[in-house]
Amino acid sequence: MFDLNRQKSIKDIVKKNVNSLLGLAHQKQVKLQTTLPTNVAVRGDRHMLGQVFGNLIGNSLKFTPAAHNHIELIEEKSDRWVIGVRDTGIGIPEGDVHKLFKIEEKYTRKGLQGEKGTGLGLPVVQEIISKHNGTIEVKSHSGSGTLFLITLPKSRLKTNENVLVVDDEHGMRMLHTRYIKRVLPDANVLHASDGAGALQLAREFNPKVIISDNDMPDINGEELVRNLKSDPTTANIPIISSQDRIQMQIAKRLSSTVQLRY
């Protein structure tokens, strides 16, 4: 049973697929890279969307010699995202491009190392994208690589429930996140490992609360607070120091600034 109404982060879905293919990419000496922003979200089924990106990335590995594959945001329109899956591989002959999404064609080629395909992958990808009210197109020529363009309707991550956790230690960020999720299950928890990253995320997402470590290498907690309070766009965001009695402070501040759901 597929659920097309849940909000999903495309970055998370792509990252999971990239991680699952890193071993194969390493063997082929292909660099997998994604630069999708955190806020690229759609309403759709995680499994189906994962199948889309898994197929496109997997195909690109078959036809890309030692080089790179890049998943990126090509364009942000008023109501849609345009996402690109680009490779520097051998490309697709111009006369074959129109066959890619036609199930009756069963278009298939052997990969650079003799990998076989069924010819059904891209028609299924197109069907999934269509179910998500999106489109897919391809730009390619022999010898010049391939770019798949996926257009999907926007579903922005809710900014009224963002909570920003700032700590240079990964373990502490995870600890705070676990507690926040207990208090506020629907919160979108943003992570920053330093003060500069925290400032950027605070300006972009305007979180309801910032939970910050005080002892950080570049901009410490006090400097971060001064920077936030001097900027009109972030001056009113409540800030909790993680040197305080953290669980008591988080619970008290979240309950007073964010509407809890039960």
**pLDDT at 14 exceeding the cut of 80:** yes
pLDDT band at 107 (very low <50, low <70, confident <90, very high): low
Task: Write out pLDDT tens, residues 38-93.
Answer: 888 898 898 999 999 998 988 888 777 766 778 888 888 888 999 999 888 888 88
**pLDDT at 245 exceeding the cut of 60:** no
**pLDDT at 164 exceeding the cut of 60:** yes
Q: What pTM, to 2 d.p., does this model score?
A: 0.56
pLDDT band at 228 (very low <50, low <70, confident <90, very high): very high
List Cβ neighbours of 214 (8 Å cut-off, separation of 6 or more): 220, 221, 222, 241, 242, 243
**pLDDT at 115 exceeding the cut of 60:** no
Q: What was the pLDDT predicted at 113?
A: 47
Q: What was the pLDDT predicted at 39?
A: 81
C-alpha–C-alpha distance, residues 118 and 123, integer Å: 11
**pLDDT at 156 exceeding the cut of 60:** no
> Which of 3, 5, 8 shows the shortest CA–CA distance to 156?
8
Average pLDDT over every residue of 197-217: 88
C-alpha–C-alpha distance, residues 173 and 167, integer Å: 6
